[in-house]
Amino acid sequence: MQYIIAITIGLLIAAGLYRLLGRTKIDTLVGLILLSQGANLIIFASGGLKHNAPALLDGSDPGSMADPLPQALVLTAIVIGFGILAFLLTLVLRSHRK
């Protein structure tokens, strides 16, 4: 599973860099989205990947639970990335109209 995540991260970052260097503004936006999703996966994978482990059990050892910090950081990054994307898309569309 870790290899699949690592390959996915590499592909997202490589595709993001390729699209970021594109000629059009939309290519740049798509590249920025792919780079941010690759960064989100890096943060999420840093929390550790566990197979078939529930996030919380009653009366269980707190050391065996999933770390909520990377999940909260990724969720926050997704929301902020969506806001920035909406703003940049508005700027691109307005500059294209003029």
Residue 76 has which token pair? 């926050």
CATH, range 1-50+67-97: 1.10.287
- Is residue 47 within 8 A of residue 67, CB to CB? The reply is yes
| Residues with Cβ within 8 Å of residue 98, at least 6 apart in sequence | none
Closest to 65 in 3D by CA, of 55, 52, 75, 80: 55
Q: What is the pLDDT of residues 35-73, one digit of tens each?
A: 999 999 998 888 776 666 565 656 666 666 667 788 888
Token reading at 75: 């969720």
Alpha carbon distance, N-terminus to C-terminus of the chain: 48
Quick one: pLDDT at residue 48? 72
